[in-house]
Amino acid sequence: MPIRKRILKQLYDVKPTRADGSLDLEKIEGAGRIVRIERKIFPEKKNLYRKISDVRKSAGFSYKSSQLPKKIDPEKKKESFPEPVEARRANIVQLGKKVSKVSEDNISISRVYVPTVFHDKKTEDQKTIEERFDLEPNDFFACEIQKKEAEFEKPKTSSAADISKSTENLLGSLENRKKKKRKKLRFRKIFSKSTLPANLFSNSFAFVATILLFSLVIPSFALVQKGLETKKMLSESGENILGELAVAQENLSSGRFENASSNLEQSYEILKNANSEVSKIGGDFSQILRFIPGVSKVATANYLLDAGENISLAGKTIIDSVKSLANIENPLSGEENVSLAELFLNLRGGIQEATGKLETANEDIKKVNFEDLPSEIQPKFLSLKEKLPVVISSLNSFSENSSIILDVLGYNGPRKFLFLFQNNQEMRATGGFIGSYGILDISDGRIKKLFVDDIYNPDGQLTARVIPPEPIQKMSAVWTMHDANWFPDFPTSAEKVAWFYEKTGGPTVDGVIAMTPSVIEKMLSVTGPIDMPEYGATVDKDNFAEIAQYEVEVDYNKEQNQPKKFIADLTPEILDKLINTKNPKMMLETLNILSSALKEKHILVYSKNFNVQKMISDQGWSGEVLNSSKDYMSVINSNINGYKTDAVIEETIEHKAQIGEDGGIVDEVTITRRHNGGNKKYDWWNKVNGDWVRVYVPEGSKLLEASGQTREFVSAPLDYQSLQFKKDPQVQSIEEETKVDEASGTRIYSENRKTVFANWVYVSPGETTVLKYKYQLPFNLSFDDLHHPADSYSILYQKQSGSIGSSLSSLITFPNDYKIIWKYPNSSEMNGNEMTLKTKLETDKFVGFAVEKTR
670 with 730, same domain: the answer is yes
- Residue 407 counted as domain residue: no
Assign 205 to helix, strand or coil.
Answer: helix
Q: Work out the pLDDT band at 376, boundaries 50, 70, 90.
A: confident
Q: Give the per-residue pLDDT at 303.
A: 79
> Is there a domain that residue 495 lies in?
yes
Q: By the 8 A CB rule, do 547 and 537 touch? A: yes
Higher pLDDT, 849 or 590: 849
Give the number of domains in the chain. 4
Which uninterrupted H or E stretch holds 421? strand 415-423
Q: Which residue has the higher pLDDT, 600 or 139?
A: 600
Question: Starting from the edge strand earliest in sequence, which strands make up the sheet with 664-675, in order?
Answer: 702-707, 768-780, 664-675, 649-659, 806-813, 834-841, 829-831
**Does some domain include residue 410?**
no
Mean pLDDT score, 540-566: 74
Predicted confidence (pLDDT) per residue in 751-770, tens digit: 999 999 999 999 999 999 99
pLDDT of residue 788: 77
CATH number, residue 744: 2.60.40
Boundary residue ending a domain (368, 400, 432): 400
Which residues, other chains included, contact 741 with Cβ-Cβ below 8 Å and sequence gap of 6+?
703, 706, 747, 748
CA distance 50 to 37: 18
* 421 or 128, greater pLDDT: 421
User: Residue 10 — very low, low, confident or very high, per pLDDT cuts 50/70/90?
Assistant: very low
Task: Say whether both 707 and 791 belong to one domain.
Answer: yes
Q: In whole angstroms, how far apart are CA 177 and each of 34, 170, 171, 185, 452?
A: 12, 11, 10, 12, 97
Q: Specify if 204 maps to a domain.
A: no
Whether pLDDT at 780 is above 50: yes
Tell me the average pLDDT of the chain.
Answer: 75
Whether 295 has a pLDDT exceeding 90, the answer reads: no
Q: Which of 13-27, 302-316, 575-589, 775-789 has the largest mean confidence?
A: 775-789
Whole-angstrom distance, CA of residue 488 vs CA of residue 601? 12
DSSP labels, 614-683 = HHHHHTT-S-PPPP-SSEEEEEEEEESS-TTGGGGEEEEEEEEEEE-TTSEEEEEEEEEEEE--SS-SSG
Please tell me which residue, 344 or 267, carries the higher pLDDT value.
344
Distance CA 683, CA 284 (A): 77
Give the DSSP letter of residue 13: -
- Which pLDDT tens digit goes with each residue over 831-845? 989 999 999 999 999
Q: Are 624 and 617 in contact (CB under 8 A)?
A: yes
User: What band does 506 get if pLDDT is binned at 50, 70 and 90?
Assistant: very high
C-alpha span between 314 and 311 (Å, rounded): 5
Kindly tell me if the per-residue pLDDT of 501 is higher than 50. yes
Of these ranges, 167-176, 232-241, 266-275, 736-745, the one predicted with the greatest mean pLDDT is 736-745
pLDDT for position 378:
78
Of the residues 164, 196, 228, the one at which a domain ends = 196
SS3 27: helix
Query: Does residue 209 lie within any of the structural domains?
Result: no
Q: Kindly state whether residues 832 and 763 are assigned to the same domain.
A: yes
Segment 812-816 mean pLDDT = 95
pLDDT at 313 > cutoff 80: yes
Confidence of residue 219 (pLDDT cuts 50, 70, 90): very low
If pLDDT is split at 50, 70 and 90, which confidence band does 55 have?
very low
| 466 and 529 housed in the same domain | yes
Residues 635, 512 within the same domain: no
Q: Do 481 and 504 contact (CB within 8 A), yes or no?
A: yes
Higher-confidence residue of 377 and 8: namely 377
| 271 has pLDDT over 60 | no
Q: Which of the given ranges, 183-197, 262-276, 557-571, 716-730, has the highest pLDDT on average?
A: 716-730
The pLDDT-based confidence of 569 (bands split at 50, 70, 90) is confident
Residue of higher predicted confidence among 257 and 313: 313
Q: What is the pLDDT of residue 172?
A: 55
Tell me how crowded residue 304 is: count the other CB atoms within 10 A of its CB: 29
What pLDDT does residue 177 have?
Answer: 53
The domain containing residue 426 runs over which residues?
Answer: 420-618
Mean pLDDT of 498-511: 96
In this structure, are residues 690 and 742 in contact, taking their beta carbons and an 8 Å threshold?
no
Q: In this model, does residue 208 exceed pLDDT 50?
A: no
Residue 550 maps to a domain: yes
723 lies in the same domain as 611: no
Segments of 717-817 assigned E as strands: 726-727, 739-740, 747-751, 754-763, 768-780, 790-797, 806-813
Percent of the chain clearing pLDDT 90 (strictly above)? 40
How distant is the alpha carbon of residue 9 from its chain centre?
A: 71
Let me know whether 454 and 564 are in one domain: yes
Pick from 762, 708, 707, 716: nearest CA to 735: 716
Judge whether residue 705 has pLDDT over 90.
yes
**Whether pLDDT at 125 is above 80:** no
Q: Pick the residue with more confidence: 373 or 636?
A: 636
Residues, the chain: 855
- Average pLDDT, stretch 394-418? 89
Q: Tell whether 654 and 603 lie within a shared domain.
A: no
pLDDT recorded at residue 687: 95
* Same domain (yes/no): 594, 453: yes
For residue 450, the model assigns a pLDDT of: 86
Q: Is 415 inside a domain boundary?
A: no
The C-alpha atoms of residue 421 and residue 442 are separated, in whole angstroms, by 19
Give the three-state DSSP class for 339. Answer: coil
Q: Which of 161, 196, 231 is the last residue of a domain?
A: 196
**Are 482 and 532 part of one and the same domain?**
yes
Confidence of residue 102 (pLDDT cuts 50, 70, 90): very low
Contact 304, 368 (CB under 8 A): yes
Whether 472 is in a domain gets the answer yes
Model pLDDT, residue 654: 98
**Confidence check: pLDDT of 123 > 90:** no
Cβ neighbours, 10 Å, residue 680 = 17
CA distance 478 to 717: 9
pTM: 0.68
Same domain, 596 and 646: no
pLDDT of 603 above 90? yes
Give the model's pLDDT for residue 169: 53
763 with 704, same domain?
A: yes
Compute the chain's Rg from CA coordinates. Answer: 47
> What pLDDT, on a 0 to 100 scale, did the predictor assign at position 628?
92
Q: Exposure of 570 by Cβ count < 10 A (0-12 exposed, 13-18 middle, 19+ buried)?
A: buried
Please give the torsion angle defined by the CA atoms of residues 345, 346, 349 and 350, in that order, rounded to the nearest 10 degrees: -150
pLDDT, tens digit (0-9, with 9 covering 90-100), for 637-686:
999 987 899 999 999 999 999 999 999 999 999 999 999 999 998 899 99
Q: What is the mean pLDDT of residues 440-448?
A: 89
- pLDDT of residue 243 exceeding 80, the answer is no
DSSP string over 456-522: HHHHTT----EEPPGGGGGT-SS--GGG---SSSHHHHHHHHHHHHHHTTPPP-SEEEEE-HHHHHH
Segment among 238-252, 281-295, 556-570, 694-708 with least mean pLDDT:
281-295
Q: Quick one: average pLDDT of 451-465?
A: 91
Q: Is the peptide bond before 825 cis (omega within 30 degrees of 0)?
A: yes
Whether 504 has a pLDDT exceeding 90, the answer reads yes
Contact, 144 vs 194, CB < 8 A?
A: no
Looking at per-residue pLDDT, the higher value among 643 and 302 belongs to 643
